[in-house]
Amino acid sequence: HVVGPDGHLVDGTPQIGIEERSWRLVPSESWVPGSHQLVIDHVLEDLAGNSVRGVFDRDLTRPDEDPQEARPVTITFRPR
């Protein structure tokens, strides 16, 4: 989901792209200026088990490749 600069969810229509390789939100109203947050559920993963927390096939000897804590991942963006 998307959170606006006011901290509230942005209302709109989500769309899944071809082969489920992308996600798009068409807001019900025009985007407002400011920083928005794309919030990604930590359980989202591909068929191989790769997720936003970490890759399935990883080097177990490298601690920097350890999976991230199970919580949503947030990406900040500004609509243009």
pLDDT at position 59: 66
pLDDT at position 65: 63
pLDDT at position 18: 94
pLDDT at position 27: 96
For the chain, what is the HEC assignment?
Answer: CEECCCCCECCEEEEECHHHCCEEEEECCCCCCCCEEEEECCCCECCCCCECCECCCCCCCCHHHCCCCCCCEEEEECCC
What is the mean pLDDT, run by run of 10 residues, along the chain of 80 residues? 96 93 93 95 76 66 67 89
Q: Report the predicted TM-score, pTM, of the whole model to 2 decimal places.
A: 0.69
Q: Is residue 45 within 8 Å of 68, Cβ to Cβ?
A: no
